[in-house]
Amino acid sequence: MEKKLRRESVCVQAGWTPKKGEPRVLPIYQSTTFKYDNSEQMARLFDLEDTGYFYTRLQNPTNDAVAAKIAELEGGVGAMLTSSGQAANFYAVFNICQAGDHFVTSNTIYGGTYNLFGVTMKKLGIECTFVDPEWDDKRIEAAFRPNTKCFFGETISNPGGHVFDIERFARMAHKHGVPLIVDNTFATPINCRPFEWGADIVTHSTTKYMDGHATSVGGAIVDSGNFDWNAHADKFPGLCQPDESYHGLTYADAFGKMAYITKATAQLMRDLGSIQSPQNAFLLNLGLETLHLRMRQHCANAQAVAEYLEQNERVAWVNYCGLKSNKYYELGQKYLPNGSCGVIAFGLKGTKEDAIRFMDSLKMICIVTHVADARTCVLHPASHTHRQLSDEQLREAGVAPDLIRLSVGIENVEDIIEDIQQALDASK
């Protein structure tokens, strides 16, 4: 058996293994199509009887190499890249839910996902129930129905910084015969691997730390291969009954542990087509090569900034699970012992206008609709990313109206703190 590399080495080495005379660096296969010698070879690909490339909407070698690296980082059996994190979360749920189905989701999730689940998927006939992860088991379990198909949550929620008790929710999901899907965008597999705690499917907005340089929007879905679809065959007809669009092939029987991710690629990507461009996958791979180094620096800087904010008299509250005073400290120690992420949520004393004045006074730190980037940046979710949510929905999503989301980058931390200090002084 081949030696298993450690996470840091996987970041650098996995995915692309060139053979004699091939490029050392992952090439961009900027080609929509691939050549075969005869018609029979091509036909076998269409019947999923052979594996091989034929059209980039279905598979592309650059994308597959990067997906393989992400799968290995997460400890999964397979992965698929998508055009965005939104597409990843949509496909992850839609792969096992159809009209008339239902799923349960944590309410402390990214605003875009909240809309996707609560508004857009409802139009497709798929309903969800938002639950507060802080409710007791009984209250959360009351949300499960006979037609419930999955449970969804974020390892570290964007923007609130709530830590999801993966083991607890995996147990609950499995008790009801459904998989747990975890959006692991903020923690990245460097700091948490949800499969080790019982999650079945992991999703990513690769736009964030994985790319890390704010160059490309992208997403990924990773399959642990652990969920036994056939044990709940009545719940998952899409996986356990023949697919008419593939001559009656049954994914769970034909692909075993790879059933879920194969269906996502062969059926959903074929029909819906939200692929990541090979060019973006190439850039994503460059980001992944330094993910382990950057995450370490993001966490160290964020810890120092969070401690600085906590003792500042202008600051009303700070949520960062690395702070001993934080209510997620214990969960953070359990799931994220080496650090969580670079994102801090905090509020200033005073009004919303004070918060805006502070943000406008920052010099090096920019106001951008982005997060988890090498450059420190800041955003006021209530007036930016989450502005389509009502005050009640904001509260439900764990987003206080005064919440400032500070995404701490990898600059020298003293420059970051000095910029915050001068902006606090200037906005008095």
Ligand X SMILES: *Cc1c(COP(=O)(O)O)cnc(C)c1O
Q: Can residue 276 be called a binding residue for ligand X (CB under 6 A)?
A: no
Give the span between the Cα atoms of 186 and 200, in whole angstroms.
18
Residue 330 DSSP SS3: helix
Q: Edge-to-edge, what's the strand order for the sheet holding 127-131? A: 78-82, 219-223, 201-205, 180-183, 148-154, 102-106, 127-131
Q: Can residue 118 be called a binding residue for ligand X (CB under 6 A)?
A: no
User: Least distance in Å: CB of 157 to ligand X?
Assistant: 7
**In this chain, which of 219, 238, 287, 409 binds ligand X, going by CB under 6 A?**
219
**In this chain, which of 58, 102, 112, 196 binds ligand X, going by CB under 6 A?**
112
Give the span between the Cα atoms of 394 and 111, in whole angstroms.
9
Query: What DSSP string runs through 215-244?
Result: ----EEEEE-S---GGGGTTT-HHHHS-BG
- Report CA-CA distances (Å) from 286 to 55, 63, 207, 211, 289: 24, 13, 13, 7, 5
**In this chain, which of 183, 211, 223, 402 binds ligand X, going by CB under 6 A?**
183
Q: What angle do CA 395, 396, 402 make, to 5 degrees?
A: 20
Cβ atoms of 217 and 299 within 8 Å: the answer is no
Nearer Cβ to ligand X, position 132 or 360? Answer: 132
**In this chain, which of 64, 72, 154, 200 binds ligand X, going by CB under 6 A?**
154
**In this chain, which of 56, 95, 191, 207 binds ligand X, going by CB under 6 A?**
207
**In this chain, which of 29, 103, 110, 236 binds ligand X, going by CB under 6 A?**
110
User: Least distance in Å: CB of 115 to ligand X?
Assistant: 11
* Residues facing 205 on adjacent strands: 219
Q: At what angle do helices 278-289 and 61-74 cross, to 10 degrees?
A: 40
**Of residues 78-107, those binding ligand X (CB under 6 A):** 84-86, 89
**In this chain, which of 158, 262, 297, 340 binds ligand X, going by CB under 6 A?**
158
Which range of residues in 205-213, 271-279, 344-352, 391-399 is near ligand X by CB under 6 A?
Answer: 205-213
Give the span between the Cα atoms of 284 and 218, in whole angstroms.
8
Q: Can residue 185 be called a binding residue for ligand X (CB under 6 A)?
A: yes
Q: Provide the binding-site residues for ligand X, judged by CB under 6 A.
A: 84-86, 89, 110, 112-113, 154, 158, 183, 185, 205, 207-208, 217, 219
